[in-house]
Chains A and B, each alone.
Chain A
Amino acid sequence: SYKLTQPLSVSVALGQTATITCGGNNIGNTNVHWYQQKPGQAPVLVIYRDNNRPSGIPERFSGSNSGNTATLTISRAQAGDEADYYCQVWDSGVVFGGGTKLTV
């Protein structure tokens, strides 16, 4: 079955840029979606189809996808961005990455 690999944790200084990766075999050939989950809350979609932001998501959130790695980039990181982030693809079923804890 298809596997998505995310770093367990990423740290970023306030106001700096955070990069969270999602690795998968030829992931660049499929659509990748990203979710933010804060403690005790349901996940929230922050990026869909590689690089699209739903309404209400700040422009600071962006995504890219090429080769074997998809990337979620959070510019000008704020304390409120501290959360778990999950990537997701479809490969004969929904596949989630293991999640990355972002510390600001």
Chain B
Amino acid sequence: QLQLQESGPGLVKPSETLSLTCSVSGVSISISDNYWAWIRQPPGKGLAWIGSIYYSGNAYYNPSLKNGVTLSVDTAKNQFSLTLRSVTAADTAVYYCARVSGRIAAHFGNWGQGTQVTVSS
């Protein structure tokens, strides 16, 4: 059964770099023909897509965040990661990783439980 689990620091200082990892179990990232995504949800607000990445490293980013975001994949560890630079309070959110059920334009068929990230000094 496919499972995704986010991990990373719960608290990050403003201007620092946030790094989150999503560990995938139940399927090999490098074999499955899926994209893998990060989505966040600020407190009390809706869902916002950050970006999606294929195991080859091909990635798509939300243009509103693109300059500060990098997605990467570690096929050996069956993980993919999010790096968000120069964070501000506006980056405080629950961060979800998810599997895109097929090609890049498909739906998010599986989600992690989410991890709370707070940006504060």
Contacts and interface: CB of A to CB of B under 8 A. Distances in A.
B11 interface: no
Q: Interface extent on A, as a size class?
A: 20 to 34
A45 B109 contact: yes
Given A35-B108, A43-B47, A88-B107, A93 B60 contact: yes
A43 B111 contact: yes
Interface residues of B, number: 23
B63 interface: yes
A17 interface: no
Contacts, number: 55
Contacts of A49: 107
Nearest to B104: A90
A44 interface: yes
Contacts of A88: 47, 107-108
Contacts of B60: 93
A98 interface: yes
Contact of B96 (A43, A86, A97): A43
Contacts of B61: 93
Contact of B105 (A31, A43, A54): A31
Interface in A13-58: 31, 33, 35, 37, 41-45, 48-49, 54
Contacts of B107: 31, 33, 45, 48-49, 88
B114 A42 contact: yes
Interface string B35-49: 001010000001111
Interface of A: 1, 31, 33, 35, 37, 41-45, 48-49, 54, 86, 88, 90, 93-99
Interface of B: 37, 39, 46-49, 52, 60-63, 96, 101, 104-109, 111-114
